[in-house]
Structures are given as C-alpha cells and as structure tokens.
Amino acid sequence: MSTDTAETFRPHPAEQFIGLNSTVYTDTGHSGFPESFWHSLSLFNITRITITGGLIILAWSLSFTSLGSYDEDLFFYAAGLHLTVSVLSLVLIYRRKPGFNWQLTQQVCVDVILICVMIHASGGLTNGLGILLMISLAGAGLISQGRLTLFYAAIASIGILLQEVYTLFSSGSTHAQFTHAAFMSLGYFAVAWLAQRLATRAVASEKLARERSIDLANMAQVNQLIIKDIKQGILVVDRDGNIRQCNAHAGRLINLESQPDYLHPAKLSDYAPDLAVLLSKHRIDFNTDAEPQYLCIRSHPVRVRLVPIPDGRNADAIIYLEDLSHVQAQVQQLKLAALGRLTANIAHEIRNPLSSISHAAELLHEERFSDSTSNRLVRIITDNTQRLNKIVQDVLQLNRRDTTRTEYLDLPAFLRTFIDDFCLIEKIDTAVFTLCFTAGDFIYFDRNHFHRILWNLCCNAWRHCLQQKGSITIRIIRAHDENSLYLDICDDGAGIAAQQQKQLFEPFFTTAQNGTGLGLYIARELCEANNASLEYMNPADGAQFRVRFRNNNCKPQEIHISQSNNG
C-alpha cells in the first residue's frame, strides 16, 4: 500500500462550515496521517523497548529461565539489536520520516526476524516467546486501523515456520515443532483478524464522533450567530447564579463589558441584583410557565422572561430581556406621526377661517372706537390670530420635513453669517455670542432646515441666559471616530429643571407665555430628517443643547463641486 494516503483522511464536508475560532478535529501532518497515528506508533515503539528490556534483564539476572538456553550469545545479540533498532525508530517517528506505513512495516518485520532469532536461541517455541509476535500483530493492527494486518500475520507465520525449518536442518527432527508452529500461525491470523475488526469499528466510531463533533460545533456557531443578532437580550445562568453566556444586547443592558469566562464566570448579582433576586424566587416555580416580569435595570424598563433548562449540567435557566424603552419610543413615534398627519389636515382647514378672522380684526382696528374696551378686544383678537397662524405655519413646516435638499455646508462660515443675521434681526450685540471652532468642518445638511434649527436654539438661549457679553457659547467638537461632529449651544442661565427635561421635546410643551411648544420638537424632527440628532446634555451650570451630525466625512472634490453649483 502506498504511503500517500492523504485522501483517506480528507476532512468531512461539514468541516468547511466551521469558522476560524472553531476547534480543528483532524490535525494531519505533511505525511497525510493524523498526529494521533504517530502518537500511537510512538507508544507502540515504547512498549517494544520495554518488553525487550525486560527480556534482557530476566535473561541476565535469572539463571533458571529458558531465555537463551540454546545459544545465550545469540539471544543477547538479537535482543540488543532489537533494543537498538527500537530506540532509533523513536528518532524516525519524531522526524516523521520516512512515511508512517513504511515505519510500521519495518518495525513489524524487525520484530518477526529478531523474535524468531530469540526463539531459536532459547530452544524453540516451548519457551513462550512466540506470544510476543501476537502482541506486535495486535498493536500494529490497531495502530494501522486494520490495514495490512493479515500481511503482517503472514510474515509472522512465515518467520515461525522458517525458524522451525532451520531448527530441523541444523539440530535434527527431534527439535522441530511444526504442530506448535502451525497452531501459533493460526493464532497470529486470528489475532490479526480480530485486530482488523476492532480497528474497523474504532475507525467507524471515530468518524461518527468526528462528524457529531463537527455538527455540534456548527450548531453552536449557528446558535451564537442567532443569539448575537437577536433583538432581545439573552442570559444563560447556572445554579450558582453565574452568567455562562450572554449576547451583546444583554451585555449592554447589565453593563457586562465582555463575554464571561468559563473558569471565571461573572456573577449575575454583581451586575443585576434585582434580576438575581427574581431568578432565585422563581426557581421553585420552574415546573410551571412563569409570567413575564417587569424590572428597571440601569434606568431601563425591561420585560423579563425566565425559561428553565431541564437536566442542564452547566446551565439552569435562560433569561430573556426585552428593553421596553425602544418599544415605548417606537409607540411614541407612531403616535406623533399620526398626530402630525392629523394636525396638518386640521391646519389646512383652520387657515381659511383664520385668515377671515384676521382680516376682519384688521378692518375693526381701522375703525376708531371711542371706548377702550372695544380697542382692547380687537387687540386680543389680533394677537391670538397671529399666535394661531404661527402654530399653523409650524405644523405645516413639520409636515414638509421629509422634503430635504441636502448640500455640503461650510459649518464655521455658515455660523458666522447666521450670528450676524440673528443679532441684526433680534437687535442683539454680537458680543453675546462666543464662537469656538476651527476652519475646515463641513456638514451635509439642508440649508433652510439648519437655519431654522439654529434660530430656535439661539432664541431659547437668548431668552433664558443672563444676556451679557459671552452669555451664549457655540462650539464645534469632532468625535473620536472622526465621522461625527458635535455642535453645542450653551447659555449661562438657570438651566432646565429635572422634571421638565423629560418633556422638552414633546409637542405643545412650553414654559414661555406666548410660545407654541413646537420649537424644540420641530428642531429635533428636522435633525432626524437630515441624519442628525438633537439632545439636551444637562450640564452643571446653565443649559446645553447638542446637535450631532453623523457620517459627515466628505471628499474635497465633492465640496468643490457643491460650492461651484451653489455659487
């Protein structure tokens, strides 16, 4: 048989699915045989050395044994040569040269030749040394997984028969034991056949185990991918309250920075004590279907569902965590979207009669009433119609937020121009504003939307600040990822109360006497329409709003083209 048997140990097709982080189950060397084959061959060779060394010690120290009884020098020469060849074979096994089959065949042939010589030197088969060849055949058959076992048995039988033939011609027929040699040969073939059958079953079992391990590894990898991408948080906890596994979403909820180590798992009570208490309470009722529970984990409303793992050795329960803040935000967005469509339709219906009321109030104002009550009533009508008209305009502007015309804007230049216009219209000294930024920052934004956002934020800042020099600060901050820009608008006023911060961006919420309550809400919606966000930062002093521009990297040629088209 050829020593090139790499195709025999070709990996199972399922192994192609296993990723880089999976365990390799078949480690084949350059000779095409797995390392387990070479390890078994080295153990087989160590066994040969041990047996030969034991024979030499017995023959040397005990005078009543029959070892070397016919020719003592020949026995020690053969045993010493066998021991030397076995030691040299260890070196060849370590170097993996020559091939596996060649080394195994060479060792079996050396065993047959030298053991037959030792049998002859000890007076024939009656000394029991022929059993040693059975050990060699059995080991060779198991190591080679059933290949060439009958060939090795044939070599051993030929060796025993040749030894008896040599004894017949050299010492006479009285010393020849052909019957004993025949039974010994049958024993060799029986051992070889049995070793072949056992090796075949071992190979089948090993192949099945390898395929099952590959399937399990693939299944574990699929489970990891599913757990990683699922929107719910998943925790696997054992009976001692240790976290054995968690996905990224659950890790963010309980602030677990990395995957728990198997030898040093993370304690659930250290990261989510309320969840650990809930788990300990429900362990008694694991036989029944537990209803979902609601907890607050790190200021996040979370729905918890506990699922027991029956007969789990390393795990006791699976905990599903659903962050309800995202659900509440989605519900709120749906409500606001429906409200926006409704109010837009209502605004169209209100605008015509509102125009008529406003025109009638202007006609009444032209009349010169003698009493002050009539003039005051006309003024009330005019002020309220203007306020209603402002609300209608804001609602209609909000309904058209999706029609954006984005372009690259030079942010520092845009801010300087805006501050000049704002101060001129509002009759404010430009020294009130402090600008902190460097040149070269560009954003991709709708010009009209950005102007409206800045106007609203600066109006609020001017209304609530101390209205002194440097009371309002506008600064640009580049994020660490170099793909985002922060625009902060700060004032030195009293700030916003904690109970009002949650309602800042709700529609029709206002603290101003003549405000509509739509300014911040519309500003945030316009930011979202331009792939940006608006949030309140809650500083220690004053108030601070931050506009975050996401993914605003742009190429110089794109900026040049945009400016040339706009210019």
Per residue in 130-171, pLDDT (tens digit) is 788 888 878 777 777 667 777 888 887 888 888 777 777 776
Summarize the confidence of residues 519-525 as an average pLDDT.
82
The stretch 22-31 carries a mean pLDDT of 42
Asked if pLDDT for residue 449 goes beyond 70, the answer is yes
Lowest mean pLDDT across 15-29, 227-241, 338-352, 456-470: 15-29
pLDDT at 194: 83
Rank 93-107, 271-285, 483-497, 505-519 by mean pLDDT and report only the highest.
483-497
Q: Is 406-566 in the same CATH topology as 231-324?
A: no
Residue 15's pLDDT is what? 41
pLDDT band of 389, cuts 50, 70, 90: confident
Band of residue 401 on the pLDDT scale cut at 50, 70, 90: low
- pLDDT value, residue 236: 83
Domains in the chain: boundaries: 6-214, 231-324, 328-381, 406-566
pLDDT at 336 over 70: no
24: pLDDT confidence band, cut at 50, 70 and 90? very low
User: What span, in angstroms and rounded, lies between the C-alpha atoms of 562 and 187?
Assistant: 93
Q: Which of the listed ranges 41-55, 257-271, 321-335 does the model predict with the highest average pLDDT?
A: 41-55
For domain 406-566, the question of CATH label 3.30.565.10 is answered with yes
pLDDT value of residue 477: 86
Q: What is the Cβ-side half-sphere exposure of residue 126, based on CA atoms within 13 angstroms? A: 11
Specify the fold of 231-324.
Beta-Lactamase (3.30.450)
Say yes or no to pLDDT of 469 above 80: yes
pLDDT at 516: 64
In Å, how far are 111, 453, 475, 477 from 483, measured between CA atoms?
A: 74, 21, 17, 11
Per-residue pLDDT tens for 58-81? 878 766 677 777 778 888 888 888
Three-state secondary structure call for residue 30? coil
Q: What pLDDT is recorded for position 561?
A: 34
Q: 32: alpha, beta or left, given left = phi > 0 and alpha = psi -120 to 50?
A: left
How high is the pLDDT of residue 490?
92
The model's confidence at residue 286, banded by pLDDT at 50, 70 and 90, is low
- Can you list the pairs that 428-432 forms with residues at least 24 positions away whose Cβ atoms lie under 8 Å? 428/462, 429/469, 431/469, 431/470, 432/462, 432/465, 432/467, 432/468, 432/469, 432/470, 432/471, 432/472
Average pLDDT over residues 119-127: 75
- What is the reported pLDDT for 494? 83
User: How many other CB atoms are found less than 10 A from the CB of residue 454?
Assistant: 20
